[in-house]
Amino acid sequence: MKRILITGAAGFLGSHLCDRFIKEDYHVIAMDNLITGDLRNLEHLFKLENFEFYHHDVTNFVHIPGKLDYILHFASPASPIDYLKIPIQTLKVGALGTHNLLGLAKEKKARILIASTSEIYGDPLVHPQTEAYYGNVNTIGPRGVYDEAKRFMESITMAYHRFHGVETRIVRIFNTYGPRMRLNDGRVIPAFIGQALRGEDLTVFGDGSQTRSFCYVDDEIEGIYRLLLSDYSLPVNIGNPHEITIKDFAEEIVKLTGTDQKIIYKPLPKDDPMQRQPDISKAKALLGWEPKVSRADGMKMTYDYFKSLPDEELYKKDHKDFKSYNRK
């Protein structure tokens, strides 16, 4: 049985990856410090013999007994609300955490895939973004802690590949959505759905002409799975190229939820990208991958998930008290 370590396993993408690799009959070693994750995302797996969980912060040395075939490094705060509140931890998990996991991959002769992001393109001046675009990032802006951590993560990963011959894979994930996102994590989709379910007006930042493209989680996981098993070590964009303006998207949510909320407008946060759309030609050619789930179907499944949550989740202000983490 192949053994895989998944960091950030109690989070949104990490928990879906655990499900996928369990389904493929792997022994899954899940690791998380629960800073933004939630064990409820994994509780259905705890009874399985081929699943184990380590409560561990990957910015500290990572030890795993026995052989390891693969490592998926997904630990990192991922939403602006999270990484603006825990900036130092965000930098540390991208830098020190990635260093620790590359060291583990080298020791175990395991293949490692790291979760990079479309944020490495910053507020892009090229549209849509191909992997060849170097990006337009403000290193010292508030979002720099996330964007630069991910850029460093890519650099150190390529250095381990070139210098130590570690088998590495880099996925550049574009906005992904689906069940198990946190309602209060500040990302567009849970924010809109949360507002609709609470009967509040939907908040659009700026004039709503900025665009996003949203990938349903099952499609994203399929792309990551194929990339891991491929023999390609340079970065690959995995995301859905169907672009929509935030204003049109807010209108779609009002229709989906059957509510009669108004859309209200607030100032755009600093360095918020105006356009986001992946060029996925590389993923198509190399992996035979493209997204299959339409936004209408994906949004319906996501809305049904959020609707099924207990009412108190709707009114939780913050997932965690981050104050104690900021001292670590």
Ligand X SMILES: NC(=O)c1ccc[n+]([C@@H]2O[C@H](COP(=O)([O-])OP(=O)(O)OC[C@H]3O[C@@H](n4cnc5c(N)ncnc54)[C@H](O)[C@@H]3O)[C@@H](O)[C@H]2O)c1
Binding to ligand X by residue 37, rule CB under 6 A? yes
Binding to ligand X by CB under 6 A, coded x per residue (else -) over 51-90, reads: ------xxx--------------xxxxx------------
Answer positive or negative: Cα dihedral of 108, 88, 136, 219.
Answer: positive
Binding to ligand X by residue 97, rule CB under 6 A? yes
Active-site residue identified among 70, 83, 146, 160:
146
Nearest distance from C-beta of residue 99 to ligand X, angstroms: 12
Binding to ligand X by residue 153, rule CB under 6 A? no
Binding residue for ligand X, selected from 5, 13, 236, 250, defined by CB under 6 A = 13
Binding residue for ligand X, selected from 6, 101, 145, 173, defined by CB under 6 A = 173
Per the annotation, the verdict on 26 as an active-site residue is no
Instruction: Name which of 12 and 303 has its Cβ closer to ligand X.
Output: 12
Binding residue for ligand X, selected from 3, 5, 6, 8, defined by CB under 6 A = 8
Binding to ligand X by residue 144, rule CB under 6 A? no
Instruction: Name which of 36 and 211 has its Cβ closer to ligand X.
Output: 36
Instruction: Name which of 77 and 87 has its Cβ closer to ligand X.
Output: 77
Instruction: Name which of 77 and 144 has its Cβ closer to ligand X.
Output: 77
Instruction: Name which of 37 and 208 has its Cβ closer to ligand X.
Output: 37
- Residues at the contact surface with ligand X, assessed by CB under 6 A: 7-8, 10-14, 32-37, 57-59, 74-78, 93, 97, 115, 117, 173, 175-176
Task: List residues with catalytic annotation.
Answer: 146
